[in-house]
Structures are given as C-alpha cells and as structure tokens.
Amino acid sequence: MVFSTEGEVPYREGQSIGVIPDGVDKNGKPHKLRLYSIASSALGDFGNSRTVSLCVKRLVYTNEKGELVKGVCSNFLCDMKPGAEVKITGPIGKEMLMPKDPDATIIMLATGTGIAPFRSFLWKMFFERHEDYKFNGLAWLFLGVPTSSSLLYKEEFEKMKETYPDNFRLDFAVSREQTNEKGEKMYIQTRMAEYAKELWELLKKDNTFVYMCGLKGMEKGIDDIMVSLAAADGIDWIEYKRQLKKSEQWNVEVYLLWIM
C-alpha cells in the first residue's frame, strides 16, 4: 500500500510508522495506533520523497467460540479505497537502520510481512542512484513463507539478483511446498542450515550485519543452527551474539501475532 505524505513524513530505511484506524474500540475510545515497518526506501516508490509504503496482511480468523474475528487495523487498511485519508504518526525506530558502510555484508532474515524493511534496504541498494551512496558489498536475503503465493515482491527481488549477481543473493523457504534432503519442512532456519558454515564465517567478520524481522519464533531456530557452529570454534554463541548486538551487528524486530 502506498500513501501520499506530501513530503511531511521524512523517514529512513528500517523505520516504522504508526497508523490510527478510524472509529472507536469496544469501550468507546479512539483506537490506539498500530506500528508497521516501512516497505519503501526514503525516496519512496516514486522517487520523490513524498510517499510511504507498507506491506499489510489482512488478519481474519475464527476464535475458540466459533466467532469470526477481524484485526482492527489490518482490515481498516485493506478495506481502504484509493484517495481515502488515513492518520499516520512517526516515523519511529532506530534498531533496524541499515549500516552506512557501502562495503558491508548485510544478511536479512524475514518471514511473511517481515520482508518490509528489507525491501526498503534493497531498493536503496539496487533500484536507486545516490550521489553519496553506492552499495558494493553483499546483500543476502532469506525469506520464509508458507506458500509460494506468499512470496511478496518476488519479481522485484529476482530482477535485482539478475542485474547484480555479485552483490545480491536470494533464498526462499516455502514451508508447505519445499523440504530438505531429510524430508523436513523448509523453514527459514532449514534453508539457512544449508549454508551454515558459510554464514558462520561471515558472522566472524566485523563488517557483517544481520537483520531479522518476522514472527517471534524464528530467532530460536536460527540460534539452534549457530550454537554448534560456534562451539566448533570454541565460542559460546549466546555470548557472541550478545557482543554482535552491542556492536549493532545483530538487529532483531520480531513480534507475536497480535489482533491488529
């Protein structure tokens, strides 16, 4: 979804904005804001710094009472018509800002709509020209989804890979359609395990930055891969990850599935 801001909401890649849906809650009070990761670069999808884009999944499910429940903000946004107005706040967030080093290795781990901040990164790296920034490093994206129809921005990413094969690597993990050699479902950590030693070597470099965005459970699966690899080098992974976080090389934005 692309929103016109008339340039009044400047932001950086990796930040979020708040959306306040119309109407009131069950107590008759205005709805509280919901945060969404920005899916566009600072220049926006039209390159004029006057828009902001979001990646929104409509939340609808049946609860234990058999009642149909709709997420307030996601349905509000998905039901909007072109030209409608929306209340936006922000931007906020500094944890997911991309590194300034144009020669860095940037490993991006996403599930579902957690792809949003990485689309913003990749647009700046590969779809835009900047006088003060030219990406010369390696960007490696792992995207985990349940079905191939959930591979958001797939064509964009494949175009980037085709155009910049030396600077962009792309790996999908489609859990309901793909399996590994053992017949196990292909989750994001399963796909990463295929490159485990290579990823560990990259993580030992001081210009490698890891970004993780998506459902909360994904971090544990990735920890499980790294524990044994680090141990083989006599390194305690949990302590090493703590140091990576301290040096801003390990950046995580994960969430539970709230009714939003």
Which residue in the list 16, 53, 153, 213 is annotated as catalytic? 213
Determine if residue 253 is labeled as part of a ligand binding site: yes
Which residue in the list 16, 37, 41, 120 is annotated as catalytic? 37
Q: What is the pLDDT of residue 221?
A: 84
Residue 213 bears catalytic tag: yes
Q: Classify residue 27 by its DSSP letter.
A: T
The residues spanned by each domain of the chain are 2-92, 105-255
Which residue, among 210, 44, 48, 216, has the nearest Cα to 119 in the 3D structure?
44
* Prediction pTM value: 0.92
Determine if residue 185 is labeled as part of a ligand binding site: yes
Q: Classify residue 143 by its DSSP letter.
A: E
Determine if residue 215 is labeled as part of a ligand binding site: yes
Yes or no: domain 105-255 corresponds to CATH 3.40.50.1370: no
| Residues 6+ positions from 138 with CB-CB distance below 8 Å | 105, 106, 167, 168, 169
Q: Tell me the CATH number for domain 2-92.
A: 2.40.30.10
d(CA 222, CA 114): 16
**Going residue by residue through the chain (260 aa), what tens digit of pLDDT does each one get?**
999 999 999 999 999 999 999 999 999 999 999 999 999 999 999 999 999 999 999 999 999 999 999 999 999 999 999 999 999 999 999 989 999 999 999 999 999 999 999 999 999 999 999 999 999 999 999 999 999 999 999 999 999 999 999 999 999 999 999 999 999 999 999 999 999 999 999 999 999 999 999 888 788 888 988 998 899 999 999 999 999 999 999 999 887 554 43
3-state helix, strand, coil in the chain (%, to 5): 30, 25, 45
